[in-house]
Amino acid sequence: MPEQNPANDPSSGLSSCRENENEQETSTEVEAVLPSSRLARIEPLAALAETAKGYARAARAENTQRAYDADWRMFSSWLRRHGLAPSPPDPQTVGLYLAACADESSRGARPTSVATLERRLSGICWHYRQLGEPLDSRDRHIATVLAGIRRRHARPPAQKEAIFADELLAMLAMLDMDLRGLRDRAILALGFAGGLRRSEIVGLDCGPGESEDGTGWIEILEGGAILSINGKTGWREVEIGRGSRPETCPVALLETWMRLGRIAHGPLFRPIARKNGGVASERLTDKHVARLVQKTAMRAGIRGDLTEGERKKAFGGHSLRAGLASSAQIEEAHVQKHLGHASAEMTRRYQRKRDRFKVNLTKAAGL
């Protein structure tokens, strides 16, 4: 099949447009730090401007940045279709946009959750702030419309099923004893014992400063492992003690994977080639963790009362994190610190089945 000329490929033009949009957004971020007119006059600051660009990109988590960029593109496209200008920011126009998004859901289009609409509003507000034209999300044209959308369309937050310790053991038993199975055993056990997000699992390195895209590292000691993680709420240390059995101990499983996979530097969890079974040098994506949890949970027969489609949606990377929070019979403050939650209320949302009916007000009232 002949190679396609990029100049004739319409998708390349679209990619170029998006790259230009991203470059414009980055330039806006930098100008907020140092005006472009001054950069033009002061040549020695050119290198420092590149450094400032790097810090500006790092101001948001990578996933948040992608989501905000997509939110702005969708909003800009809606404005163009209706012949509206993006600047200056108009609260009434933003309120109309939110109403249009919610109305599409009510007419049978793909449902847009209230949480997604709230995130889109955050992305729009963030972009306007970078332009130096703040948008007040508390303006009545926005706040009142959003309150009405919440009242009419809000649903309980969709949560992944929590996986408990006995269920995790059944999932571990479903994996083969080859290199891929040993790696996946370590992922599941470490993710559960650490209460880690899937991005935190794959973001681990063998040591500090070993890769540019790493978000943490491990230190294995006699009593267990210490994980230094840069998560949503900043840096935290997670202690993972050794278990009672090597075949289920997260630290022992991790040591086995590192030894047999010859992992001594750089990303901790990596892909394995299907042809020769060799370990690659790059990092696993967080999607692997979600697929791994789904696959092993289904093979282990967890929640067999659900249909196959329902079970697939019920489990994901967060199932490990929720499982630890729901299983650990320790003080709430310890769980909150371990999971890196900013508030105790968020921790309580994770402790789903653990505390149900522990306090029975019906009996306490005399019934």
Q: Rounded to whole angstroms, how far apart are CA atoms 358 and 348?
A: 14
Q: What's 90's DSSP letter?
A: -
What is the tens place of the pLDDT at every residue in 19-78? 444 444 444 444 544 455 555 555 667 778 777 777 776 666 677 888 899 999 999 999
Q: Provide the pLDDT confidence category of residue 354 given band limits of 50, 70 and 90.
A: low
Asked if residue 6 has pLDDT above 50, the reply is no
pLDDT the model gives residue 366: 64
pLDDT the model gives residue 38: 55
Q: What is the dihedral of CA 88, 90, 93, 97, to 10 degrees?
A: 80
Lowest mean pLDDT among 49-53, 123-127, 363-367: 363-367
- Of 233, 23, 56, 25, give the one whose Cα is nearest residue 124: 25
Lowest mean pLDDT among 29-43, 111-125, 268-282, 335-349: 29-43
Q: Provide the pLDDT confidence category of residue 332 given band limits of 50, 70 and 90.
A: low
What is the tens place of the pLDDT at every residue in 178-195? 999 999 999 999 998 888
Q: Provide the pLDDT confidence category of residue 353 given band limits of 50, 70 and 90.
A: low
What is the tens place of the pLDDT at every residue in 246-267? 888 999 999 999 999 999 999 9
Mean pLDDT over 126-133 rounds to 90
Q: Rounded to whole angstroms, how far apart are CA atoms 16 and 14?
A: 5
Strands 234-241 and 204-205, bridge-based pairing: unpaired
Q: Rounded to whole angstroms, how far apart are CA atoms 227 and 332?
A: 20
Q: Provide the pLDDT confidence category of residue 141 given band limits of 50, 70 and 90.
A: very high
Mean pLDDT over 286-292 rounds to 92
Q: Rounded to whole angstroms, how far apart are CA atoms 284 and 245?
A: 27
pLDDT the model gives residue 55: 74
